[in-house]
Structure 1
Amino acid sequence: MQQEPAQDLDRDPDQELRRERAYHDACRAALARMVEGAVEHVVTGEDVSASGADAEVLGYRLRSRAKEMRELPEGPLFFGKLRFGSGEHAGQSYRIGRLRISAEPTAPPLVVDWRAPVSRAFYQAGPDAPQGVAVRRRFGWAPGSRGDSADLTGWEDERPAAGESGSGTLLAREIERPRVGPMRDIAATIQPDQDDLVRADLGASVCVQGAPGTGKTAVGLHRAAYLLYTHPQRIRRSGLLILGPNRTFLSYISEVLPALGETGVRQTTLHEEIARHPATGTDSARAAALKHDPRAAEVLRRALYAHVSTEAVRPLSLSDGTYTWRLSTAEMTRIVTAVRHEEPPYAVGRERVRGRAMRAVQLLAERRAGPQPAAWTRRLERSRAMSACLDTLWPKVRPEEVLAGLLTDAEVLARAAEGVLDPAEQRALIWTRPPRSHKSARWSSADLVLLDEIAGLVEHPEGYGHIVVDEAQDLSPMECRAIARRAAFGSLTVLGDLAQATTPWSARSWRTVLRHLGKPDATVVPLTTGFRVPAAVVDLTNRLLARLDADVPPARSHRADGELTLRPTADVPAATVDAVREALAREGSVGVLAADAQVAEVRAALTAAGIEPAEPDQLGARVAVVPASLVKGLEYDHVVAVEPAAVADGEERGLHRLYVVLTRAVTRLDVVHARPLPF
């Protein structure tokens, strides 16, 4: 933090650039001392005289902090600057960066974290609400800079208090910079509507309906970083989870949170989060749709609680060695019936029956011989007679046993599905080649969702304080329920675009998704202004949007640049090679996107032409061939979309998949086609 006279901001440009570079050098030296200090604190902390548990906790925290400091990615230490002319911070100047830097722990910061309250003015100040900001400065850094001060190339100043507005060339250049490699953070370019979402309260669940290129994924990740900064103890205690659609996508976004100074956040897919077994089985399209249908939840609930029975109730007899205590059939039936009506988790219900039966025995003993010691109670409570009684009335079950029983036995399924699924739907679910037992079953990915549902009925899973769910438009109702169980006492950031919904069970409304996620009152916020996809591409995809069954507003682009080229041809492989060669003559990444069935042909054509394309998960490659089914969430500077009609015909919601393919381009889009275009 510094006080700077107004005239200092209008000095000779070369002198000002040298001054900012020198300041950056000072920040670099201070950061080095912070890293060294974190390591020294580990050594000091190990010598602290305390209890073993206290020393272990302190040592873990210090080592974690030192590790985080050492693993900070290299890069510029600040990207902006504020000078306040009025208000609480009048006369003060602040550099804004990705983390706080100070010469000493108690000294004023040299760089203020972008998440700090004072930093909000950097994103929100404008002519209508200057928030006391006299000057907002944006710094220009050489692309790919690792934080060398010489890479600071310039700056632009804007004076909100004087009525100046406009994004400036540096902001536009940073937004439009070619994409090569993993996703970058947007801390330097967050827009006001994005900032509102990023800084939403921890207790608020938010759904972002984001058109392509509006930065919804970046908003979700920056909100995660903001919550970790604002509520460090609560979030680290309860946990924060990032859920993406696939591993390729997670690799693409993996560097964003570390770049913002946050490491150790769990980033995974829903199926990896819930998987109890490898998904080695397959389902018919009909069976998969039924397993993802919300009606499956009621069928599973009935199947599980069908194991609870009062038909075989016998009197309970517990002997303590000197006397036998008995509970009648009527008393045991009453206990089981009462617990069953309370609908606790299945495992809790079993223990509740045990506890109430034992309490009834205790009352008998107290009336006969007075209060009994705790050891007496524990011995009878865990006796073989008690366990045998429970195994009859409320037996232990494994989710695999329950589901295998449903899918192999038509009579069991018929009883559980009566009035819920019709006979034809039940037949579609029955395994045609049942395994010998649940232990040898080959579970499908949809089965894993059902197993998680049953496991959640048996015992509630451990939850998270906050979950960020990306590409949520593709979640089935049963997948939503799996997330809801893990967010029962936390909040959600739900990200997606209904126009990009490609699964057969995709919802047509966010309200439906939010209801299944257990957050029906979450706020739905649309982002319609794109900062990634050029206007020429957006105009094209808006024409396709009109044909989709998605109630979303048309997108608009912040960018006037960009190119769109339609390449009709009789030889698609040859035209694809030509388009890729032309793209390679320019800067940036090239994504060749094709229907899954055409990927091998496209890859072979490029290889034969001397172009070695990378796999989708090889981030940073100049050219990658990507199946349409895996491209969601990714972006490339130049996209070559191969035969759109084949993408549209490839699946039930093929037009939605095509919409995804066409909106992956950051700067240029080539559409190679022999068949008529679907838009």
Structure 2
Amino acid sequence: MSDTEHPDFADEAAYIHKAYARLDQSREAAKSITDNVESREGGTHQARYERDVLADKVRSRLEDLDIGDQSLIFGRIDQAEGDHFHIGRVAVFDEDRNPMVVDWRAPIAEPFYRATGRQTMGLSRRRHYITRYRELLGIEDEYFTGEGGERTGLKGERTLVAALEEGRTGRLGDIVGTIQGEQDEIIRAPLAGAVIVQGGPGTGKTVVALHRAAYLLYSHRFPLAGQGVMVIGPNRLFLTYIEQVLPSLGESGVELSVLGDFVPNARVRGNDPVHIARVKGDLRMIDVMRRAVRQRQRPLR
């Protein structure tokens, strides 16, 4: 059976088009509010302050809704009780404020990434969509019988292969539609404390860390957005490589920096003597650094 012969293909394609239409309407509504707010002048100090706050919030929402050429919907979960939810990049609601698309970071979306044959998390089916821009190309279904039969291989294999076969652009892209269970555990780990992601080159450490930043900004927006989130990279080339990931996930307010930004006038003037370099490279420095970080940690306000 070809992809377009799937019995639900036409209905799902129509649903995706309808969700995009609602996204466009929401974006136009936000833009209209922004234009209206920015056109106002004068008023009391309090009125101007409230106007600026509203304008900032609407502009932020407008940025969240601008997903460019990225796929809006990439999956669906069917619960054993009968409810189903479409999982996507940003939340979209219909005219009655019912969810058409659930944000991938919402708690209800977690089973899309975590459910297995042994731990179904209440699912009867998980569906992956293969899309290009706004067009549905294929559907891949996984069924959960609840009989304890563990599945082998990766979840959404065809979707993952399709993502890997996409042409490279020289920029790091998001993996929001193909996150695997082990990666999702890191992304959704509790906020408190430091999370260290270790792995060899090319294992996805950077992209998982960026998705974690997007998740934390969604689930802990009040403390984090007010105090700011910063991604520190080794050099400018690296920052250019990753700069599109967070905006594609609906987070555009994160600052990207290199260590040199903290001491802009400092220059390397020499090398450490051998005995000092040996101390700095000793594995025991890990404990020293761990204590230093712990002593300097402060709780979120």
Question: TM-score, normalized by length of structure 1?
Answer: 0.39
1:99 aligns with 2:90: yes
**Given the alignment, which residue of 107, 113, 120 partners 1:117?**
107
Deviation track 1:450-485 (CA, whole Å, cap 9, x = no partner) reads: xxxxxxxxxxxxxxxxxxxxxxxxxx7xxxxxxxxx
**Given the alignment, which residue of 146, 149, 154 partners 2:138?**
154
In the TM superposition, residue 60 of structure 1 has moved relative to its aligned partner by 2.6
Moved more, 509-518 or 224-233: 509-518
Secondary structure (helix, strand or coil) at the match of 1:249 reads helix
CA distance in structure 1 between the partners assigned to 2:223 and 2:278 by the alignment: 35
In structure 2, the residue matched to 1:173 is 161
In the TM superposition, residue 190 of structure 1 has moved relative to its aligned partner by 1.4
Is the 8 Å Cα contact of residues 75 and 87 (structure 2) preserved in structure 1? yes
Secondary structure (helix, strand or coil) at the match of 1:187 reads coil
Is the 8 Å Cα contact of residues 118 and 150 (structure 2) preserved in structure 1? no
Aligned residue pair count:
285
1:286 aligns with 2:273: yes
Secondary structure (helix, strand or coil) at the match of 2:197 reads strand
Write out aligned runs for 1:531-570 (5 A). none
Deviation track 1:22-64 (CA, whole Å, cap 9, x = no partner) reads: 1111011001001011112224445597533222222232233
Is the 8 Å Cα contact of residues 38 and 65 (structure 1) preserved in structure 2? yes
CA distance in structure 2 between the partners assigned to 1:506 and 1:57 by the alignment: 50
CA distance in structure 2 between the partners assigned to 1:258 and 1:187 by the alignment: 13
In structure 1, the residue matched to 2:119 is 129
Secondary structure (helix, strand or coil) at the match of 2:126 reads strand
In the TM superposition, residue 231 of structure 1 has moved relative to its aligned partner by 1.4
Question: In structure 2, do the counterparts of structure 1 residues 195 and 508 end up closer, same or farther at CA, with 3 Å as the change threshold?
Answer: farther
Question: In structure 2, do the counterparts of structure 1 residues 286 and 67 end up closer, same or farther at CA, with 3 Å as the change threshold?
Answer: same
CA distance in structure 1 between the partners assigned to 2:101 and 2:271 by the alignment: 57
Secondary structure (helix, strand or coil) at the match of 1:154 reads strand
In the TM superposition, residue 78 of structure 1 has moved relative to its aligned partner by 0.9
In the TM superposition, residue 15 of structure 1 has moved relative to its aligned partner by 4.5
1:251 aligns with 2:240: yes
Instruction: Give the counterpart letter for 1:73 in structure 2.
Output: G
CA distance in structure 1 between the partners assigned to 2:285 and 2:15 by the alignment: 51
In structure 2, the residue matched to 1:303 is none
CA distance in structure 2 between the partners assigned to 1:506 and 1:250 by the alignment: 29
CA distance in structure 1 between the partners assigned to 2:116 and 2:67 by the alignment: 32
Is the 8 Å Cα contact of residues 158 and 164 (structure 1) preserved in structure 2? no
In structure 1, the residue matched to 2:56 is 60
Secondary structure (helix, strand or coil) at the match of 2:230 reads strand
CA distance in structure 1 between the partners assigned to 2:295 and 2:101 by the alignment: 38
CA distance in structure 2 between the partners assigned to 1:257 and 1:293 by the alignment: 38
1:84 aligns with 2:79: yes
Instruction: Give the counterpart letter for 2:151 in structure 1.
Output: S
In the TM superposition, residue 171 of structure 1 has moved relative to its aligned partner by 4.1
1:277 aligns with 2:271: no
Question: In structure 2, do the counterparts of structure 1 residues 164 and 209 end up closer, same or farther at CA, with 3 Å as the change threshold?
Answer: closer
Is the 8 Å Cα contact of residues 6 and 139 (structure 2) preserved in structure 1? no
CA distance in structure 2 between the partners assigned to 1:21 and 1:510 by the alignment: 53
Is the 8 Å Cα contact of residues 86 and 102 (structure 2) preserved in structure 1? yes
Write out aligned runs for 1:357-368 (5 A). none
Is the 8 Å Cα contact of residues 511 and 520 (structure 1) preserved in structure 2? no
Question: In structure 2, do the counterparts of structure 1 residues 36 and 508 end up closer, same or farther at CA, with 3 Å as the change threshold?
Answer: farther
RMSD after superposition: 2.9
**Given the alignment, which residue of 236, 240, 255 partners 2:229?**
240
- Segments of structure 2 that go 5 or more residues without pairing to the other structure are none
**Given the alignment, which residue of 280, 292, 297 partners 1:516?**
292
Question: In structure 2, do the counterparts of structure 1 residues 269 and 508 end up closer, same or farther at CA, with 3 Å as the change threshold?
Answer: farther
Instruction: Give the counterpart letter for 1:170 in structure 2.
Output: R
Question: In structure 2, do the counterparts of structure 1 residues 506 and 39 end up closer, same or farther at CA, with 3 Å as the change threshold?
Answer: farther
Moved more, 15-24 or 32-41: 15-24
1:223 aligns with 2:212: yes
Deviation track 1:197-233 (CA, whole Å, cap 9, x = no partner) reads: 1112222321122233332111110110001111112
What percentage of residue pairs aligned between the two structures are identical?
Answer: 34
Question: TM-score, normalized by length of structure 2?
Answer: 0.83
Question: In structure 2, do the counterparts of structure 1 residues 186 and 25 end up closer, same or farther at CA, with 3 Å as the change threshold?
Answer: same
Write out aligned runs for 1:287-436 (5 A). 290=276
In the TM superposition, residue 180 of structure 1 has moved relative to its aligned partner by 4.0
CA distance in structure 1 between the partners assigned to 2:251 and 2:163 by the alignment: 23
In the TM superposition, residue 520 of structure 1 has moved relative to its aligned partner by 10
Question: In structure 2, do the counterparts of structure 1 residues 214 and 77 end up closer, same or farther at CA, with 3 Å as the change threshold?
Answer: same
CA distance in structure 2 between the partners assigned to 1:225 and 1:185 by the alignment: 11
In the TM superposition, residue 513 of structure 1 has moved relative to its aligned partner by 3.9
In the TM superposition, residue 91 of structure 1 has moved relative to its aligned partner by 1.2
Question: In structure 2, do the counterparts of structure 1 residues 203 and 153 end up closer, same or farther at CA, with 3 Å as the change threshold?
Answer: same
